[in-house]
Amino acid sequence: ELAAELLAEEDPDQSAPLLFLGHEDIPSGIVGLVAGRLADERHRPAVVYERQSETSRASCRSIPEFDITGALRGCAELLERFGGHRAAAGFTARNENLEPLKEGLLRAAEEALAGVELAPVIDIDAALPLGALRGKEIRLLSQMGPFGQGNPEPTFLSRGVEVAECRIIGNDGQHLRLKLRDQYGAGGGVTWPAIAFGLGEAGVREGQRLDVVYSLTADRRDYGLELRVKDVAPAVQNPEPKT
């Protein structure tokens, strides 16, 4: 939540090609996590720092199109120390150098990312009816784990899914708790519980048909499974019953 507030202050129109933000209340132990989340969600390089009394320590995460360590190397005179590789880096800088450092990194990003569409891209492993996810298929998916860096969880696209229930959750109404139905699934209709983080303002409503991108995840409430929705769009067309 703090990162979201800082982002709104630093880049209110969300147009900057590089995110650069920090605060004394961001613990150094999580700056990497915050930077990684911002880079993934906004598909642009992110620099997040913990501001201390005289210096700040930062973690940087990037996208394939931008060499963040190369950009830091071009601003080396403003840094106490730095290191990393193309996709991730860290540095320490004196507080009085943060603003010129930000300007230098923004210039580097503007040059390197000119013409690049800075929109998140979701890799989809398969398009399949929601009703195709049943016992046998779920067991096969579980055998592909454990999932994590280097072995990301499979991501699926299901079209024409009906929103059976929709409830806005979270302190700021940022998330959705859903039940998604495919009445034309093999062997009859099927309904899945789902969670959609960050999609509270996506305009989803009950009775609507959506094309849904999601992965399977554990439901911590009842130790079952649910869908973790990554993106939605109005259905291209309503599905027709298979004969």
Give pLDDT tens digits along the chain (243 positions): 566 666 666 665 567 899 998 888 787 788 898 898 888 878 899 999 999 999 999 999 999 999 999 999 999 999 999 999 999 999 999 999 999 999 999 999 999 999 888 877 788 888 988 888 766 666 666 666 666 666 678 899 999 999 999 999 987 788 999 999 987 655 557 899 999 988 888 899 999 999 999 988 765 565 578 899 999 999 876 445 444
| Residue ranges per structural domain of the chain | 2-112, 126-234
- The pLDDT value given to residue 243: 44
Eight-class DSSP state of 216: E
Give the dihedral sign, CA 134/129/151/169. negative
Fold (topology level) of 2-112? Diaminopimelate Epimerase; Chain A, domain 1 (3.10.310)
- The pLDDT value given to residue 43: 87
Q: How far apart are CA 183 and CA 181, in angstroms?
A: 6
Q: Which amino acid is at 24?
A: E
Question: 47: closest CA among 57, 61, 33?
Answer: 61
Exposed, middle or buried: residue 207 (CB in 10 Å: 0-12, 13-18, 19+)? exposed
Eight-class DSSP state of 136: H
- The pLDDT value given to residue 3: 62
H-assigned helices in the chain: 2-10, 31-42, 68-73, 98-112, 135-142
> What is the per-residue pLDDT across 182-226, written as a single tens digit (0 to 9) for each?
876 555 578 999 999 888 888 999 999 999 999 887 655 655 788
Q: Which amino acid is at 52?
A: Q
- The pLDDT value given to residue 242: 47
CATH number of this structure's domain 126-234: 2.40.50.140
